[in-house]
């Protein structure tokens, strides 16, 4: 069986060594030494000034919206994981969907201004599959209209634009360290901001808004993460270069084998490198995509319709909204298996099956 994804696991001994330290200290959570060490090592690895390790990527988004004190409407993408939208609604704001660009599959920055109203307070965009949004245009529009910007960078660990970390963009960027992501701590996430006041506020929100022994500064939640999760994050970080290299090589293998396929890959940002977080294909037709998905399934090969259906039409708590490009792309997109343990022979087999379906 070939699943669509499989979590990376470090050699057990590496994790055990961290566990021994945890047993000695008997400090399990609440910003412990391993959580602090993980923050330091991620900061160093990504060349960032500040990060906060949190419970997961969804809480990271909720904390970002709360810390920026957003109200009213937030312009966002319908082509993402449900947490991008649900976080907006969870924080009492209204998501306003703007269609995606058919080539990059990210929010179409040229369509954002038309969606701005007197109630708009922010833009929340996802770097889908780790492919950077048009951050220059988004930042320019945000400045012009006095809007905040949050980037959901859940897919973008290690991604840079012209050598600068993707997490430096926007007022706040968030990441997920969930087990299905390229780099993970089982469950986990982090928030990034360049603004020292905002960082303080986020740190306070992460810890219930507690400001002193018996004082509270603001409304907070429990966004802390544990020493056991930090230990997994620290263990996996030792292998991150290998992980990315392998995923990029597998991506190249798919590209080479599937040149005759009636499908396209997202057009990548010019200043950025694909780290191989996912392997998405947008097929010429939904019919071809479904036939291929079915054949792979019959051969015990997993795929995922990431992202289908459009968030603008799928959520029972929102009025459905049709969006031309998103509706079209989400119907025809399919992600193929991609993970560290996948072999080149397995990729070849998947590609042979796919091409056989197309050419029959
Ligand atoms: C995974 C993911 C999230 C949520 O992260 P969790 O750590 O699972 O809570 C948010 N946004 C996107 C785009 C994701 O892929």
| DSSP one-letter string for 322-357 | --HHHHHHHHHEEEEP--TT--HHHHHHHHHHHHHH
How much is the pLDDT for 298?
98
User: Once rounded to an integer, what is the mean pLDDT over residues 265-283?
Assistant: 98
Regarding pTM above 0.75, the answer is yes
Residue 127 Cβ inside 6 Å of ligand 1? The answer reads no
Question: Which atom of ligand 1 is found nearest the CA of 56?
Answer: 7
280-283 own/partner pairs: CB under 8 Å, 24+ apart: 280/105, 280/129, 280/306, 280/333, 280/334, 280/335, 280/336, 281/333, 281/334, 281/335, 281/336, 282/105, 282/329, 282/332, 282/333, 283/332, 283/333, 283/334
Separation of CA 56 and ligand 1 centre (Å)? 8
At residue 100, does pLDDT exceed 90?
Answer: yes
Atom 2 of ligand 1: nearest residue by CA position: 154
Residue 300 to residue 352: CA distance in whole angstroms? 14
User: Is 12-237 assigned to CATH 3.40.30.10?
Assistant: no
For tokens 């006041």, the residue is: 197
Task: Say what the pLDDT of residue 258 is.
Answer: 98
Query: How confident is the model over 166-186, as a mean pLDDT?
Result: 98
81 lines ligand 1 (CB under 6 A): yes
Please identify which residue in the block is written with the tokens 């991008």: 84
Measured in Å, residue 186 CA sits from the centre of ligand 1 at 12
Domain residue extents for the chain: 12-237, 240-359
Q: Is the CB of 193 under 6 A from ligand 1?
A: no
303 lines ligand 1 (CB under 6 A): no
Task: Determine the average pLDDT of the residues in 32-57.
Answer: 98
3-state secondary structure of 20: helix
pLDDT tens for 316-328 read 999 999 999 999 9
Tell me the fold of 240-359.
3.90.1150
Cα(223)–Cα(234) distance, integer angstroms: 19
Our answer on whether the CB atom of 189 is closer than 6 Å to any ligand 1 atom is yes
pLDDT of residue 328: 98
Distance CA 262, CA 88 (A): 36
Q: For the chain, what percent of residues have pLDDT higher than 70?
A: 100
Output the CA 20–ligand 1 centroid distance in Å.
30
Average pLDDT of the segment spanning 29-48:
97
Q: What is the three-class DSSP state of 281?
A: strand
The residue nearest atom 3 of ligand 1, judged by CA position, is 57
- pLDDT the model gives residue 190: 98
| Binding site membership of 56 for ligand 1 (Cβ less than 6 Å) | yes
Amino acid 17: pLDDT: 98
The tens digit of pLDDT for each residue in 120-131 reads 999 999 999 999
Q: What confidence category does residue 360 fall into, taking pLDDT thresholds of 50, 70 and 90? A: confident
Q: Tell me the CA–centroid distance for residue 274 and ligand 1, in Å.
A: 19
Residue 58 CA, closest ligand 1 atom number:
9
Q: Hey, how many other C-beta atoms are within 10 angstroms of the C-beta on 136?
A: 13
Q: What angle do CA 343, 345, 351 make, to 5 degrees?
A: 110
Which tens digits make up the pLDDT trace of 209-232?
Answer: 999 999 999 999 999 999 999 999
Closest CA to 60 of 158, 163, 185: 185
Count H helices and E strands in the chain, helices first.
Answer: 12, 14
Mean pLDDT of 67-89: 98
Average pLDDT, the chain: 98
Answer yes or no: same fold for 12-237 and 240-359.
no
User: Rounded mean pLDDT of 229-256?
Assistant: 98
| Angstrom distances, CA of residue 189 to CA of 22, 66, 85 | 21, 16, 17
């Amino acid at each position: 069986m070939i699943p669509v994804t499989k979590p990376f696991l470090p050699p057990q001994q590496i994790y055990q060594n961290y566990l021994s330290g945890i047993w000695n200290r008997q400090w399990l959570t609440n910003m412990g030494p391993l959580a602090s060490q993980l923050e330091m090592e991620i900061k160093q690895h990504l060349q960032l000034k500040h990060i906060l390790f949190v419970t997961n990527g969804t809480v990271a988004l909720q904390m970002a919206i709360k810390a920026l004190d957003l109200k009213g409407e937030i312009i966002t993408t319908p082509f993402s994981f449900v947490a991008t939208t649900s976080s907006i609604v969870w924080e009492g704001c209204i998501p306003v969907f703007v269609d995606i660009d058919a080539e990059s599959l990210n929010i179409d920055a040229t369509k954002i201004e038309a969606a701005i109203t007197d109630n708009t307070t922010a833009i929340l965009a996802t770097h889908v599959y780790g492919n950077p949004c048009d951050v220059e245009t988004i930042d320019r529009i945000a400045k012009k209209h006095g809007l905040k910007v949050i980037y959901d960078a859940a897919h973008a660990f290690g991604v840079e634009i012209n050598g600068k970390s993707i997490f430096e963009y926007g007022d706040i960027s968030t990441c997920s360290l969930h087990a299905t992501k390229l780099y993970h701590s089982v469950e986990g996430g982090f928030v990034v901001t360049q603004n020292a006041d905002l960082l303080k506020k986020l740190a306070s929100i992460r810890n219930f808004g507690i400001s002193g022994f018996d004082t509270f500064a603001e409304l907070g939640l429990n966004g802390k993460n544990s020493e056991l999760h930090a230990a997994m994050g620290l263990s996996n970080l030792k292998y991150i270069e290998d992980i990315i290299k392998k995923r990029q090589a597998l991506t190249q293998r798919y590209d080479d084998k599937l040149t005759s396929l009636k499908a396209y890959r997202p057009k990548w940002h010019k200043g950025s490198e694909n780290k191989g977080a996912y392997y998405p294909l947008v097929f010429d037709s939904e019919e071809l995509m479904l036939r291929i998905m079915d054949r792979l399934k019959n051969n015990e090969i997993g795929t995922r319709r990431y992202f289908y259906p459009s968030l603008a039409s799928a959520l029972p708590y929102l009025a459905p909204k049709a969006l031309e490009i998103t509706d079209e792309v989400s119907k025809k997109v399919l992600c193929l298996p991609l993970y560290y343990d996948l072999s080149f022979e397995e990729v070849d087999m998947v590609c042979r099956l796919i091409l056989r379906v197309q050419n029959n």
